[in-house]
Structure 1
């Protein structure tokens, strides 16, 4: 056997190499990129990566890790730990911990060997670390992101993770985060995977589908070599021109897979006859192995059980022979081209060879080898060198020793939880549960009973985002739980939290039942009382979100008192927070705002409680109209999140609370950036809905109603479940639906959306109700302008009167809210009938209200637009021109494209020029004298009654709207264009056209147009 088994020259991969180098060039320019490299086994992924890294200069740092094949549940963060340990070895523990910043504690939890380093973990400004939950995962992810970002300032950094098809769930979640969070670094992430090993249901398949939508990710599949490339590779390997017969044979048998080409060429060269080449893939993979001595083959079988890479020290521990025998066998395997030496480790030249040898093991042999590795890992673990419980569990399972695998699995679960690897902890918890009934005394081995294990695993699943599995498991736990009120209450609370995370109904009844069970305990101990406070706080929070704020206040204040009694600051802060937001929601503004500040004081630096404060405090400031303060509170919360090492996880979600106030201030671009960044980090369901709603709303008002409607149709299914359980979401999304429907002219859909508001309990969520009342009033105005379209939508005369009555009643009920002086004039102006004498005065009042400090920036342009329309209706064209120009200027300056478009439509219909730079002579022309309604043009703006006095008696039968439509028919406009001009749908325009043709006795639009022109 030859030792020269790999080609010294890489063949057929120049374009792929240039692709990687191009990604690196972009990363060098602070444009972080991710390259995902796939392909079948043996196609040359590792060789390409090796060639890429070999060419790198000293200005690039390479961090590499390889996923470990430990079956269905791999050790958490294994490839990342490998890469980070190499970095620590390179620059030192102190330098790494300094670079990590506030996430030091989380980083040390991942690499506990750093706990004894000189850099003080306690010196971190993070404050008290969050003990668990998604925040712990966020802190670890942030710590690694900060580290990579920091070291990349010195040298461009390439993070390589190979064999993603074996990736553990925790690493996959971390990679998803890094790819989206490293927005201003010089980092290139390179991932490789074996394409045939990610079948349906494999987590990597979903991961690849998801990241393909990201513009900073580029995915590439390596192709097989062509016949010409196989010939060239053979020439390089043989150092001579290959014969045609060999090339054809090798090409046919290898099918262009480089690894197989190298093996076939090497074996054929040694055999001297292409006809002797192996007939099957298995024979080819085992050809070199079978040519080795029996002792070397025995070593290789042992190594194959240990994994793709096995440290020499570990192999010494499990090898049954002497060290000299091990060295001889290992040397033979290396010389024979089966193993390679990588530092202190032995690695198979290719994973396919390892898998072929592993498949050739006898059952007894396999179990014996696994047991040897498990015992060796236990000895290493006992020495406190590394956390190896996952490896121990895997090997004891391979040895079919459930009794020893079970405690190792439970310990591995604890270790995964300690490093915030909740997805892996959940998988291990489920594995432990599957072993529960086949091991003796499992409760003693696990140091917990089955119900507790089920409860913990439920929590891990929920924290990992696996809420459906969490729900199934907690239901099973409740079914198995004995009649223990305290334990059942805890499980019921957990089930409620899972339902809440899924955005489903049912959490409130479960929490009520949990509270009832706790109340039935005659002499509750300390832990039971703390659990009761927790359940009460959770129930109050769900009641608040559902809109049942009166009961929420009572329960939250009782929870606060209980938490104070049992000295639980975090619980007291959260409970008071809920009570304060609930009071604010029903109009107790000063009390609510003061209560939020008290909740902040009670938090005493607790991370989770403080983040909740910043979220609710910034939202409260926005709702009361203090937009600048709302942005400042959100930014202060972001600073706090940054200090806790949560800037790009919880911090970004918190910062997104600045989106609505930024919209109010007209800072659209800044809001867009926050939305995009927060959505990229895959926030929880309710936050995602909030961000999507804000983005669609901004798209509408910035002048892209069609795009906004299209996006809403795509995401409506995501919003609907959250609307069912959250009153704020119902009102926010309901208003969006109504505005989209109004813009498209669909009055029926708009009415359905307005009913969402009218069905909500009165006097709650006042900050959301007021702007929705304005939207509802706009529906009344639209129905009056378009009575033909209003009738089929259910807005005929009596219905319209009733809707106006309900709006006025609701408006009177929210007069205590601070933004009432802004919204009330707008509602009243919308409700004034089109063309009414007091319309101009009503819209003048609205213009004044738009100057209020609490007013949203886009309202000024909108109010002046409507004032201009009202002026046109009275014949005051000079005032109309002035206000429409002012409206357009304000809208253009503020980026309110929708108002610009509406102004242009109204001005065009009225024959006014209002764009910037309009002719000076028009601006200085004397005002036209007011004209009677009978003298107004038929194509006047929407909402303007009348038209040219008809000379044809038949035209007397037409309504004012129909005369407007007829004028536009005479201009040659289509139904769609008529709808756009008059703010109605194309379908409604078609109804008007049909009525006109029928009344005129015209056979076509052309004939109707001629009749209209004849009487002008």
Structure 2
């Protein structure tokens, strides 16, 4: 049993292990990380990870280990289910509290009613992220080269979203199995670009390490050790098998496969029979199932198993099962089976699993390998249904597609499956769309006889694929094929109105949506009703009637349609309309309701769940609730490796630039490689321009703003804001060249329904254009303040800064002082340090010293005097008999009101201006 003794020490992998420990240590400190461990079969990946598992347990990590299997690509989330199955105690209770995770476990939560597999997948991903974030966790997923598509998607999602959680995620894979078109290759290439991912490649051990490894196995004969080292070529598993072969008196000739088979040939007939059955079952197998498949009685089976386990071919796995010591051994034994023998064993396992109500995907695998097409068809359809309910659209599609391929070869297919071919094809297409392959969904629907339902779904997928003209044709066919006054007609009309929205036939949209609304109300098609109302609200918004748009969207936003995705979409659009109109309090309520609905259903990171978070952040930011805005922004990590993370990260810049946070440059450095994406460039580079302006670098600001304007659609309303920022830079530079063109760009992007924020930025662009031409136009700046105030607190404050400047230039000192004081008050309460510093500079130039002093409360003046003496917060609190936390609040207010960024600057300004 030397193969067990070899596990007592890790030999020759100190560098690789050190890198894994580094990822684990960073996770312990709150910097989540992913490690991908690759290498040839038998090179020592599992041994290395086993050592990391022990280290993690010693450091207090919860450890979850899951393993893929060769047929795992048909079983959704097999390694995740395997990992969760090993959880106990509090972890198991938390899994049970998340039904979508509990469904993965034997005896777990009921699969529930049929639902959109894509939405269920988003629920599962969000639930898994929340589950991992609660404590330090090491999650290991082994043999990813066999992972199913949904597991690969989960791996990418977690690698992207884990940022500050105390989580270390480790995946292993075989490099020698990754042929050119292997699906894991693309995933690995994507993941290795992420800054949170560490790649660890295991190469062959050198001669000294191999010698040490064999010594640990018990190798004492130098000649034998040298021979094994020569033949093993640095592969520990091969060396182990060679050494065991010598110990058992076998020859070392032949390749690894032959060597492994030679070790099985010394088994008794009964033991070989059991081992062959285990190979057909897969990497792991239940005790009772394997015994029933072998046909041996209890005593004979126990003796056979004792022989197999003693030779290190199978090992105990859990309380009631066995696993091959290495996947290579299972593959070799399976490959050596005769065709008839293999077919018979698969048929036997299918029969036994059917009696045990086994997993449908596993049943389909065994039935089809046993050439039982009828049972294979039925099992494939059921496997697809279960995959849908688990949130695994790729696997659902695979099973449904497999069933479609068998359909014409099996009599009574409808009776066997409980569905017809058209209905099955519709589900196959839906699964394809849910996994992000709309083109495949379109191809499958086009192969069906046209009907109202088929054409409506075809139009939906075509529109999402940006083939608008084809979508219109399909939607019109759906309307023509639908029965009068039917739910199918309501859905077809709603889809047709949606496809026509941005087409030259937009005039037809409103009548179609109104008709869809009428038919939906009569037939109870609540999803079509909600969709039609959203289209009508969009029409009203485009026509400039934002009040009607908000009223329409509000009429359905809080109603349950039975379609979660539609409900979240409606809440997002309603909150957006309220935000655009400046109704911040109402927008906050709607957005928070949507986020709560998303969280309750595990959809925080779904498309609309994420959009609602973005909108919530903007509402908090614009309304002046910067404490909550900062809490939301803190979730948007700076380390980005793909465009979705870059979009998330860009939002944080709004609050960080405006508060003068020290990490702005670091975040911008991470985002710079993604400025080729127009949305990332609009947000992050636009904020980089503002950051440069606050740092007195208008030339750099103009460079950023100009680059953004070149990247975005000239008709996009966001052009107005960027043009205004560019005009700000031109005015600071004292230049007029290009000012007229920038103003023309801003005016060209104005359209009906741009909302209060858009109107405010247009007014700002007009005022900045005048400033660039040397005119401090009081009325232009007063107009900006009027549009932004009171909904957009920060924008109103910095517009007042410019208004105060203009009033001073016009000689109206008293009005300038009033506007300046209001701006200083707002900047101080927000913690808008750059604006505060600009206002302080204006106050010094205008000699508003006494006014500056009047901004401080009596208590703040007392605190300032002690700050100027150099006392820390603790001592100030003791002297004034107030809490240290209260002192900290006073100091923050003082810094904001004085427009300074440090206690030292506050003390110096206080002495200079006579504020003490």
Query: Under TM normalisation by the shorter chain, which class is it?
Result: 0.7 to 0.9
1:597 pairs with one of 554, 557, 578 = 554
| SS of equivalent residue, structure 2 residue 611 | helix
| Contact 1:868-1:883 within 8 A present in 2 as well | no
| Contact 1:734-1:754 within 8 A present in 2 as well | no
Q: Which moved more, 1:289-298 or 1:858-867?
A: 858-867
1:826 counterpart = 2:737: no
Distance 1:916 1:844, change over 3 A: closer
- Residue 23 of structure 1 and its aligned partner are, at CA, apart by 4.7
Q: Aligned equivalents of 2:329 and 2:705: distance in 1?
A: 68
| Structure-2 residue corresponding to 1:262 | 240
1:281 pairs with one of 256, 261, 268 = 256
Q: Aligned equivalents of 1:22 and 1:806: distance in 2?
A: 51
Distance 1:371 1:201, change over 3 A: same
1:60-113 Cα shifts (integer Å, max 9, x gaps): 543332212117x321122222333343xx449xx9466654x43x34544472
| Contact 1:750-1:779 within 8 A present in 2 as well | no
Distance 1:305 1:209, change over 3 A: same
| Structure-2 residue corresponding to 1:854 | 791
Q: Aligned equivalents of 1:28 and 1:20: distance in 2?
A: 13
1:472 counterpart = 2:432: no
| Structure-2 residue corresponding to 1:429 | 400
| SS of equivalent residue, structure 2 residue 71 | coil
1:122-158 Cα shifts (integer Å, max 9, x gaps): 9xxxxxx9932432222233334444555x4xxx544
| Structure-1 residue corresponding to 2:326 | 350
Distance 1:830 1:196, change over 3 A: same
1:612 pairs with one of 559, 562, 569 = 569
| Structure-2 residue corresponding to 1:114 | 108
| Contact 2:35-2:170 within 8 A present in 1 as well | yes
Distance 1:174 1:491, change over 3 A: same
| Contact 1:825-1:842 within 8 A present in 2 as well | no
Q: Aligned equivalents of 1:597 and 1:578: distance in 2?
A: 13
| Structure-1 residue corresponding to 2:872 | none
Tell me the TM-score normalised to structure 2 length.
0.77
Tell me the TM-score normalised to structure 1 length.
0.70
1:495 counterpart = 2:458: no
| Contact 2:164-2:637 within 8 A present in 1 as well | no
| SS of equivalent residue, structure 2 residue 559 | helix
1:833-892 Cα shifts (integer Å, max 9, x gaps): 8556x64434553564476213462565467469869989x9999999999999999989
Distance 1:684 1:141, change over 3 A: same
| Structure-1 residue corresponding to 2:537 | 580
Distance 1:568 1:689, change over 3 A: farther
1:378-437 Cα shifts (integer Å, max 9, x gaps): 2222xxxx4x22112222332344444222222211111121211211122222233345
Distance 1:458 1:270, change over 3 A: same
Q: How many residues align?
A: 837
| Contact 1:286-1:356 within 8 A present in 2 as well | yes
| Contact 1:781-1:833 within 8 A present in 2 as well | yes
Distance 1:327 1:234, change over 3 A: same
Q: Aligned equivalents of 1:564 and 1:710: distance in 2?
A: 50
Q: Aligned equivalents of 1:781 and 1:560: distance in 2?
A: 51
| Structure-1 residue corresponding to 2:384 | 413
| SS of equivalent residue, structure 2 residue 74 | coil
CA RMSD, 1 decimal: 5.1
| Structure-2 residue corresponding to 1:36 | 36
1:527-546 aligned at under 5 Å gives the runs: 529-544=486-501
- Residue 574 of structure 1 and its aligned partner are, at CA, apart by 3.6
| Contact 2:843-2:849 within 8 A present in 1 as well | no
Distance 1:786 1:341, change over 3 A: same
Q: Aligned equivalents of 1:64 and 1:199: distance in 2?
A: 26
Q: Aligned equivalents of 2:393 and 2:266: distance in 1?
A: 46
Q: Aligned equivalents of 1:536 and 1:638: distance in 2?
A: 30
Q: Aligned equivalents of 2:482 and 2:445: distance in 1?
A: 24
1:462 counterpart = 2:462: no
| Contact 1:373-1:395 within 8 A present in 2 as well | yes
| Contact 1:96-1:147 within 8 A present in 2 as well | no
Distance 1:449 1:346, change over 3 A: same
Query: Unpaired segments of 5 or more residues in structure 2?
Result: 693-698, 851-916
| SS of equivalent residue, structure 1 residue 857 | helix
| Contact 1:626-1:854 within 8 A present in 2 as well | yes
1:205 counterpart = 2:143: no
Q: Aligned equivalents of 2:686 and 2:805: distance in 1?
A: 25
- Residue 817 of structure 1 and its aligned partner are, at CA, apart by 5.5
| Contact 1:780-1:804 within 8 A present in 2 as well | no
Distance 1:429 1:734, change over 3 A: farther
Q: Aligned equivalents of 2:452 and 2:685: distance in 1?
A: 40
1:482-521 aligned at under 5 Å gives the runs: 482=449, 484-496=450-462, 499-500=463-464, 502=465, 504=466, 506-507=467-468, 509-521=469-481
1:15-30 aligned at under 5 Å gives the runs: 16-17=16-17, 20=20, 23-28=23-28
Distance 1:900 1:205, change over 3 A: farther
Q: Aligned equivalents of 1:29 and 1:713: distance in 2?
A: 27
1:218-252 Cα shifts (integer Å, max 9, x gaps): 44233432222222222222264x41x33432222
- Residue 207 of structure 1 and its aligned partner are, at CA, apart by 2.9
Q: Aligned equivalents of 2:504 and 2:641: distance in 1?
A: 23
1:372 pairs with one of 348, 362, 367 = 348
- Residue 12 of structure 1 and its aligned partner are, at CA, apart by 2.8
| SS of equivalent residue, structure 1 residue 471 | helix
1:160-171 aligned at under 5 Å gives the runs: 160-171=140-151
- Residue 57 of structure 1 and its aligned partner are, at CA, apart by 5.2
- Residue 897 of structure 1 and its aligned partner are, at CA, apart by 9.5
1:641-680 Cα shifts (integer Å, max 9, x gaps): 2222323445343211124334435778976875685799
1:389 pairs with one of 335, 338, 360 = 360
| Contact 2:312-2:325 within 8 A present in 1 as well | yes
| Structure-1 residue corresponding to 2:71 | 70
Q: Aligned equivalents of 1:282 and 1:112: distance in 2?
A: 35
- Residue 459 of structure 1 and its aligned partner are, at CA, apart by 1.0
Distance 1:679 1:397, change over 3 A: farther
- Residue 899 of structure 1 and its aligned partner are, at CA, apart by 8.2
1:739-772 Cα shifts (integer Å, max 9, x gaps): 9999445999788679823xx8xxxxxx868757
Distance 1:568 1:736, change over 3 A: farther
1:907-926 aligned at under 5 Å gives the runs: none
Q: Aligned equivalents of 2:754 and 2:609: distance in 1?
A: 33
Query: Unpaired segments of 5 or more residues in structure 1?
Result: 123-128, 721-728, 761-766, 905-913, 925-1016
| Structure-2 residue corresponding to 1:305 | 280
| Structure-2 residue corresponding to 1:82 | 82
1:906-945 Cα shifts (integer Å, max 9, x gaps): xxxxxxxx85998999999xxxxxxxxxxxxxxxxxxxxx
- Residue 613 of structure 1 and its aligned partner are, at CA, apart by 3.1
| Contact 2:639-2:670 within 8 A present in 1 as well | no
Distance 1:420 1:215, change over 3 A: same
1:893-908 aligned at under 5 Å gives the runs: none
- Residue 461 of structure 1 and its aligned partner are, at CA, apart by 1.6
The structure with more radius of gyration = 1
Distance 1:476 1:746, change over 3 A: same
Q: Aligned equivalents of 2:754 and 2:54: distance in 1?
A: 71
- Residue 900 of structure 1 and its aligned partner are, at CA, apart by 10
- Residue 517 of structure 1 and its aligned partner are, at CA, apart by 2.8
| SS of equivalent residue, structure 1 residue 340 | strand
Q: Aligned equivalents of 2:801 and 2:728: distance in 1?
A: 15
| Structure-2 residue corresponding to 1:651 | 609
Q: Aligned equivalents of 1:217 and 1:308: distance in 2?
A: 28
| SS of equivalent residue, structure 1 residue 296 | helix
| SS of equivalent residue, structure 1 residue 299 | helix
Q: Which moved more, 1:351-360 or 1:578-587?
A: 578-587
1:791-820 Cα shifts (integer Å, max 9, x gaps): xxxx7xxxx6xx978977987x86995558
- Residue 599 of structure 1 and its aligned partner are, at CA, apart by 0.7
| SS of equivalent residue, structure 1 residue 647 | coil
